[in-house]
Amino acid sequence: MDFASLTADENRWLGTHYTSGRAGSPIRHVVVHYMGGDLDGAGCYGVWQTRPASAHYAVASTGRITQLVRDRDMAWHCGNKAENRRSIGIEHANRGGNPGYLTDACMASGSHLVAALCACYGLGRPAWGRNLFGHSDFASTDCPGPLRVGMPQHDRYVRMCQQWYDYMTGAGSAPGSEDDLPTPNDVWAFTNDGQQDDTAPGSAWTNLIDIDRVVNAIRQTIGGDDTHTVLANVVDTNLRIQELQATISAQAEAIRTLASAQGADPEAVAKAVSDAVAAKLAEIRLEVTTS
């Protein structure tokens, strides 16, 4: 997409389910949505042929942007006519689980589009609650999923919108590799239900969230009963062995002292005890099962 001129990668103009013009209302803000599925512009176009809804732009998981309603017209995206008249709606493709994560490419293109719209229409630097909102700010809905306040990708998305705006207005550089690093909110809000398998292998974000998954996979592989995992039992056994080794050493020293007091050869007695212990240990068969 040419963000400077707001020329989308493709146009698929809807012939229904939007309103021509804005009834004199100026554009005041941008409203972001998520699709509830991994759709592209063609997919959204098909859905909105029969569903009484629409948005101005659709951002695919690949980052490709399709425009379906002209900026000068009113899309039906907020569930609120007054808000529809003064806003531009952007749909984002999402993948897997709940709340349904956005790919890095979708995040980058979507945030760049927000910045471009804010710059074009004089809305100012993107700020949530001022010129940038989510669908849930105007209707009872989970949309925009992971972009809602407090959700995993919200902080990063807003930060990228601001960085793109700074870049486009000459006040800063474009978002760089540091945006692969999760914010504290990204980390704490993460749950195992939202695995971002679509992020680039080896990125800081992927490595971080993989820790939880890998640990769970290890636990499932080694198994255990309803109370203890085999891993926990092995650790506990190791501790008990160390305790027994310390006890045996102390007892051996006590035997040496007692043998000396009784006039016997302490080393011979200690060796006899050691040989007896070794013989018993040789008879023990240790089995570890995961059933």
Q: Does the pTM exceed 0.85?
A: no
pLDDT of 177 reads 46
pLDDT of 255 reads 77
Decide if 136 contacts 184 (C-beta within 8 A). Answer: no
Kindly state the helix (H) or strand (E) to which residue 88 belongs, with its residue range.
Answer: strand 87-92
Distance CA 111, CA 32 (A): 10
pLDDT of 87 reads 97
Kindly state the helix (H) or strand (E) to which residue 133 belongs, with its residue range.
Answer: strand 132-134
Of the candidate ranges 25-29, 180-184, 237-241, the one whose mean pLDDT is the lowest: 180-184
Q: List Cα–Cα distances, 191 to 146, 183, 195, 204, 262, in angstroms.
A: 12, 15, 8, 17, 68
Q: Is the pLDDT of residue 176 over 90?
A: no
Q: Is the pLDDT of residue 97 over 70?
A: no
Q: Is the pLDDT of residue 205 over 90?
A: no
pLDDT of 220 reads 66
CATH fold label, 10-191: Lysozyme-like (3.40.80)
Two structure tokens written together for 212? 């939880």
Of the candidate ranges 41-45, 154-158, 276-280, the one whose mean pLDDT is the lowest: 276-280
Domain extent listing, the chain: 10-191, 230-283
Q: Is the pLDDT of residue 285 over 90?
A: no
Decide if 154 contacts 185 (C-beta within 8 A). Answer: yes
Distance CA 201, CA 221 (A): 23
Q: Which of 27, 19, 22 is nearest to 52 (CA)?
A: 19
Bridge partners of 128, per DSSP, are: 132
Give the pLDDT band of residue 75 (cuts 50, 70, 90): very high
Q: Is the pLDDT of residue 214 over 90?
A: no
pLDDT of 224 reads 57
Average confidence (pLDDT) over 20-43? 96
Average confidence (pLDDT) over 235-251? 77
pLDDT of 225 reads 57
Average confidence (pLDDT) over 90-103? 81
Maximum mean pLDDT: which of 2-16, 183-197, 238-252: 2-16
Q: Is the pLDDT of residue 203 over 70?
A: no
Distance CA 245, CA 253 (A): 12
